[in-house]
Amino acid sequence: MTTKKQTLWQITKKYSVLICLIISVILILIAASLYPGGSLFDNNAIGFKWTKNFISNLFQTKALNGTQNPGWIWALIAMAFHSIGYGIFFINMSKKMASKPWATILKMIGVSNIILIFLIATPLHDLGVLSIILTLLGLFTITMFILKSKRNALKFACMSCLLTYYGFFFVYGLGYLDWAVIMQKVYILSSLLIVLALEYATKQEDFIQAKP
């Protein structure tokens, strides 16, 4: 019995990032399905529109159309799992780094993101947004190592992911909210995929010879 429990724990620990992110995505989909309506472009819109609503709309107790949002609690729980998943990811990546200073930085990003990502779904949203910058910094650091490795496919994937972040900041900064709404989903999806790829398709050996 003890052996079975240990095996279950080992499996859960190994796939903790995947489990957390899958649960997070499922809960966000549930929250979106329960969202009454309203967007930045049309307060009378019905339901959650992936090309018209920011994800942050799901965290509000009252939808943009003025009615109560019954799905906000699911979005809140989703962000809890999302923050844990990303936090564990950066902590795990820090263990693969041969460079102790960079390993420490990634570990600090991981610990910080466990708290900051969750804050995005709370009234402290503006403070939580710092997690996006930390995540970008962490992914940029990992990308610098990957570019020095022989993992060509991951080089392309990492660079593409970073470009989606920059693309979002660019259109959002210029005030093109219609494009920013779409780019938000693109960079989130891109980030989820690269996180899973780096978590389960890289080993410590990939970073031994690499120096940023």
Predicted confidence (pLDDT) per residue in 60-89, tens digit: 999 999 999 999 999 999 999 999 999 999
Rounded mean pLDDT, 55-60: 94
The pLDDT, as a whole number, for residue 1 is 56
> Higher-confidence residue: 54 or 98?
54
Q: Are the beta carbons of 166 and 195 closer than 8 angstroms?
A: no
**How far apart, in Å, are the Cα atoms of 79 and each of 100, 122, 191?**
30, 10, 15
User: Measured between alpha carbons, how far is 12 from 85 in angstroms, rounded to an integer?
Assistant: 12
SS (H, E, C) 123-141: CCHHHHCHHHHHHHHHHHH
The pLDDT, as a whole number, for residue 31 is 97
**How far apart, in Å, are the Cα atoms of 110 and each of 95, 114, 118, 181?**
12, 6, 13, 26
Q: Look at the pTM and tell me if it is higher than 0.75.
A: yes
- Terminal alpha carbon distance of the chain: 46
User: Measured between alpha carbons, how far is 12 from 193 in angstroms, rounded to an integer?
Assistant: 19
Model confidence at 6, in pLDDT bands (50, 70, 90)? low
- DSSP class of 59: G
Predicted confidence (pLDDT) per residue in 139-196, tens digit: 999 999 999 888 899 999 999 999 999 999 999 999 999 999 999 999 999 999 999 9
Domain ranges of the chain: 15-208
The pLDDT, as a whole number, for residue 28 is 97
User: Measured between alpha carbons, how far is 166 from 161 in angstroms, rounded to an integer?
Assistant: 9
